């Protein structure tokens, strides 16, 4: 297992999650004010899931080296 | 999803050839996208009125949500594995350090500015009353950022060419 690669991927994923967290909070507030439809929140969740899937696959590579 | 799966395949097969191919194709596609966006698309967008820019953003932004982060993450990861496999991952080597520094700049720009801007554009577009001026401003910021990324990517290709030959 490549520990440094796994650590680097975890750091990237954490940074991305924090950025998405801020954006999700902004989107939730807009939704609460009635400016943003639920579709916007739903697509944002799918986007986040897609990014997490990419990082999960990359994390898998750390076990292959 | 194809680039990370291809990387897993290359590593599972322990094939230096596949790993090299994945690194070159993802890196070249990422660079090509940024060069095209920064040089060609930016000129086109500047010549358009704000409503037309918004129409372009509506179609361009969701595509870039997945393609660019996927290409960038795989190009960088495969590059590190490739350098390790070829015995070139020496942190005392100035060329490796230069590659690392450029990668940090590209990563911070891409994941810290480009991606969040893309999400903000999308969220604004999803509103009942989107703000065209904000969408146009964020889109133009991303286009200018792509131009800056293109410069760093041309530099990293120079570093890669040196590492591949020497």
Mean pLDDT, 10 residues at a time, over chain A (65 residues)? 83 83 86 83 82 87 85
Residues in chain A within 8 Å Cβ distance of B123? 23, 26-27, 30, 36, 40, 44
Query: Could you read off the pLDDT of B124-146 as tens digits, one per residue?
Result: 877 878 888 888 888 888 888 88
**What domain range includes position B10?**
2-165
Query: Could you read off the pLDDT of B29-84 as tens digits, one per residue?
Result: 988 888 888 778 877 877 888 788 778 877 777 777 778 888 888 998 899 889 88
In sequence order, the 6+-apart residues with CB closer than 8 A to the CB of B59 are none
Q: How many structural domains are present in chain B?
A: 1
In sequence order, the 6+-apart residues with CB closer than 8 A to the CB of B151 are none
Q: Which of B11, B70, B128 sits opposite A54 (nearest CB)?
A: B70
Q: What is the mean pLDDT of residues B108-119?
A: 82
Say what the ipTM of the complex is.
0.74
Please give, rounded to a whole number of angstroms, the shortest distance from the CA of B78 to a CA of chain A. Answer: 9
């Amino acid at each position: 297992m490549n520990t440094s690669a796994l650590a680097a991927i975890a750091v990237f994923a954490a940074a991305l999650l924090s950025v998405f967290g801020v954006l999700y909070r902004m989107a939730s507030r807009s939704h609460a004010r009635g400016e943003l439809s639920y579709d916007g929140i739903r697509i944002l969740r799918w986007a986040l899931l897609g990014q997490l899937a990419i990082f999960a696959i990359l994390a898998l590579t750390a076990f292959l080296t | 999803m194809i680039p990370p799966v291809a990387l897993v395949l290359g590593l599972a097969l322990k094939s230096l050839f596949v790993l090299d191919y994945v690194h070159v194709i993802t890196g070249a596609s990422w660079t090509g996208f940024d060069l095209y966006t920064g040089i060609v698309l930016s000129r086109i967008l500047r010549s358009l009125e704000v409503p037309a820019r918004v129409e372009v953003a509506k179609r361009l932004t969701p595509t870039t949500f997945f393609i660019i982060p996927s290409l960038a993450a795989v190009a960088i990861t495969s590059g590190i594995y490739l350098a390790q496999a070829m015995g070139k991952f020496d942190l005392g080597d100035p060329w490796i350090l230069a590659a690392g520094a450029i990668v940090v700049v590209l990563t911070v720009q891409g994941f810290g500015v480009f991606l969040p801007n893309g999400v903000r554009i999308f969220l604004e577009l999803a509103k009942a009353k989107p703000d065209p001026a904000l969408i146009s401003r964020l889109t133009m910021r991303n286009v200018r950022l792509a131009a800056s990324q293109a410069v760093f990517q041309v530099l990293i290709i120079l570093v890669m060419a040196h590492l591949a030959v020497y």
